[in-house]
Amino acid sequence: MSEQVAASKTAHEVVSNSVLFSLIFFSGAMALLPISTYFGSLNYIWPGNTTYAALSAVLAANIVLVGYIIIAARDDTSSREESQRAASKLESKKER
């Protein structure tokens, strides 16, 4: 019984660490990428045109947001699969 609890806690900690890492990564990307895109495109791609630079920054922010949604959906799916595997293992051990 204690082995099952330890394995469950370890799997939960790994999932929590990956979720925390992706949250920190995408938070940093959301803070830095649109700002750097704005000023980079303002100075190098469309010199002096703030409208196109702002549109570029909005596009960059949306790309980061879509990336975060995709990663979050994958993490949710994998955590569901892991919990289903753990439940099936627990049921098979109960039958023995």
Per-residue pLDDT, 16: 73
- Burial (0-12, 13-18, 19+ Cβ within 10 Å), 41: buried
Mean pLDDT score across all residues of the chain: 83
Residue closest to 78 by CA, chosen among 2, 22, 6: 22
Q: What is the pTM of this model?
A: 0.69
In terms of residue numbers, what domain contains 31? Answer: 2-95
| Integer CA distances (angstroms), 83 to 9, 48, 77, in order | 12, 54, 10
- Torsion angles phi and psi, residue 70, rounded to 5: -65, -45
pLDDT bucket at 75, cuts 50 / 70 / 90: confident
Number of domains in the chain: 1
pLDDT bucket at 92, cuts 50 / 70 / 90: low
Q: What are the tens digits of pLDDT across the range 37-61?
A: 999 999 999 999 999 999 999 999 9
Q: Who contacts 17 (Cβ-Cβ below 8 Å, separation ≥6)?
A: none
Lowest mean pLDDT, pick from 64-68, 76-80, 90-94? 90-94
